[in-house]
Structure 1
């Protein structure tokens, strides 16, 4: 998705770096349009390094490419953070005396603004009227929050944190087609303890499951995320239950499944666990050149949930496979979905450099009949939305 981040001249401009970074990490193409005043607070090299694109500031640059309107025409979303009292006033009257102003006027994309100013400016009748005007036109206003402002001042007017801005901005694009539904998502990789220090685990970071949970929340669902040793931050707007082992994940899922309309089992769960977990660290001095660990099979959590589901509940499983041949991969999936009893199975190929701990994914989704119902590739966020499209 092509996202324009507009930055205006306030002390909160440094927080815009966090907004840009979050969008980039989610796989979006971010273009920064900064006012001259904004660059007094945060440097162009920083913005270009984080966005991975040139920063645009001058209304008269790229005239041959009609850049003063082209940036806005190409945008899927525009976020202004921070939005000062002056920039809000300009937006309200349609003033386009700089590149950010022309970009917004030339765009049909959703616009999200994050105000930042001193309390007296925020509560001023002129600002209140301007904000009301923007909202009446469909512009989403996020914040401001209450807290420490510039100098010794404190109160309402503080720009909200980057993760809240990003969540609100992405929500502006999504249909609320999961409103009123409860979604349970598992993510991450389980760890089966050998002793208090060591464990048997896998390379799952939790990125795909976290992306699904965040996307479901943005589409209106009430989301619980059961996270097993996540290497990424959980998304805002979801309830997080942290677990470590397969047994802990199974217990948490069994408790939460009863109230869920949709269950998406994206976690990479260990198939086996050590039969005995020692209570003190195993010493190599006492073990010699070889260490024998007997493993026992873990319960099949997905099959267990499918066998006890309530009427109308939809269950989606994941299968991470290293099979390089597409036909053989599909055959593995068809066999597995019959054993598991899920409604859908998401097949994704994994290996040393794909699937786990990378920002992109490529998946194939089959139904219980073994038919291919969807294929998707791209950022894990875009894959998450494609999966949810099947369930909405």
Structure 2
């Protein structure tokens, strides 16, 4: 996409990842955007203003006033000038300031003055990134409407390896392009998507699970995101690369963990889509040590897991939309309609295991979409991305949405 005419503020903070801001600046300028850079004082230790000024073709600001001329840098004007404000890298220190309204430098003053959408690309060591104080600050910033571009995993400056690397400039550019290209039909809406399987532990190394890949849930999450929604994904263990999509990601393993994560988010959501294949049962007890192959048979006592969609459906607000999925092998339509009533769904999407190329693991799907108010909508065998668009279209037809 061409970003010609788009005005982008780029905030650079004190992080070893500050060198990536030069690459990001170059990519944004090459795409046609006007880029104005603001640096924190600590960022000056990692990359020079001359480098960024040369690449952006604009002066770089880091102080409230020019010490040579005495001219004031108008942070309010900067905040009103931009179409988008990106902080990359965003250090733990700056994240803490933004989350708590602290204003001791030009960058934080501009953030508090900005009326445009804000993206942040955190960068720090893995233990810092997972520290409860940082997670709390990121959650606060998300609640303010800021877009958090989750850190990526890999080798870190400390020599450790894990999540904490600033999102690569190419991936940030992708999110910027997607931000400006969306039709914004779901702008301002918060969407929860559960996806993937759950794993119910037998012992420290074994578990009960299913074949869900999470592909349908990912397609739905991406579809909502492309239409301007703020997307929160609660995901079981999957191999698809969710970290690079820019969702608010909550990885879990068991059904109980998925329920707890979803429950915390539910009241804040406008739309909830339950695509996860949650295990119906879990072992009554988890062996503390690996179960040895001693007897020719092994008996398991299983207990019923919490029904996530059912429990959250009991607390569904009048202005919320719940979308569920049904994977059936017999009496398909009757079972799907019964599930819609029992779990208080507005829509239920029926998959059939009898359709070749549909269901688990496939990149395609064939579905029937039932609603309480409209006719049944049936698809052909289509890519899951196309199925996702169909589901969004049906969401827009619901009386709650209208």
Question: What TM-score, normalized to structure 1?
Answer: 0.57
> For structure 1, which runs of at least 5 residues remain unmatched after alignment?
4-80, 89-117, 126-139, 147-158
Preserved CA contact (<8 Å) 1:211 1:384: yes
Corresponding position of 1:334: 337
1:350 Cα offset (Å) = 3.4
Q: 2:208 aligns with which of 200, 203, 209?
A: 200
Secondary structure of 1:302's aligned partner: helix
Pair 1:123-2:42 in alignment? no
Preserved CA contact (<8 Å) 2:357 2:365: no
Corresponding position of 1:304: 311
Preserved CA contact (<8 Å) 1:315 1:343: yes
Corresponding position of 1:269: 278
Pair 1:345-2:342 in alignment? no
Q: State the Cα deviation string for residues 321-369 of structure 1 (Å, max 9, x = none).
A: 245xxxx422221222122221110111237853112222222110136
1:124 Cα offset (Å) = 4.1
Secondary structure of 2:194's aligned partner: strand
Q: 1:316 aligns with which of 283, 306, 323?
A: 323
Equivalent residues, number: 256
Separation in 1, partners of 2:366, 2:179: 24
Secondary structure of 2:379's aligned partner: strand
Corresponding position of 1:236: 245
Pair 1:358-2:365 in alignment? no
Q: State the Cα deviation string for residues 35-94 of structure 1 (Å, max 9, x = none).
A: xxxxxxxxxxxxxxxxxxxxxxxxxxxxxxxxxxxxxxxxxxxxxx97996x97xxxxxx
Q: 1:391 aligns with which of 363, 388, 395?
A: 395
The correspondence of residues 278-297 of structure 1 with structure 2, limited to 5 A, is: 278-285=287-294, 288-297=295-304
Q: 1:214 aligns with which of 222, 232, 240?
A: 222
In the superposition, relative to structure 1, how do residues 245 and 143 fare at CA in structure 2: closer, same or farther (>3 Å)?
closer
Preserved CA contact (<8 Å) 2:29 2:56: no
Secondary structure of 1:208's aligned partner: helix
Separation in 2, partners of 1:368, 1:268: 23
In the superposition, relative to structure 1, how do residues 382 and 165 fare at CA in structure 2: closer, same or farther (>3 Å)?
farther
Corresponding position of 1:257: 266
In the superposition, relative to structure 1, how do residues 163 and 363 fare at CA in structure 2: closer, same or farther (>3 Å)?
farther
For the aligned residue pairs, the C-alpha RMSD in angstroms reads 3.5
In the superposition, relative to structure 1, how do residues 378 and 166 fare at CA in structure 2: closer, same or farther (>3 Å)?
farther
Separation in 2, partners of 1:184, 1:83: 31
Preserved CA contact (<8 Å) 1:142 1:160: no
> For structure 2, which runs of at least 5 residues remain unmatched after alignment?
2-25, 33-50, 59-82, 90-166, 397-402
Separation in 2, partners of 1:389, 1:175: 13
Question: What TM-score, normalized to structure 2?
Answer: 0.56
In the superposition, relative to structure 1, how do residues 336 and 144 fare at CA in structure 2: closer, same or farther (>3 Å)?
closer
1:166 Cα offset (Å) = 4.0
Preserved CA contact (<8 Å) 2:357 2:364: no
Corresponding position of 1:188: 196
Separation in 1, partners of 2:255, 2:366: 25
1:120 Cα offset (Å) = 7.1
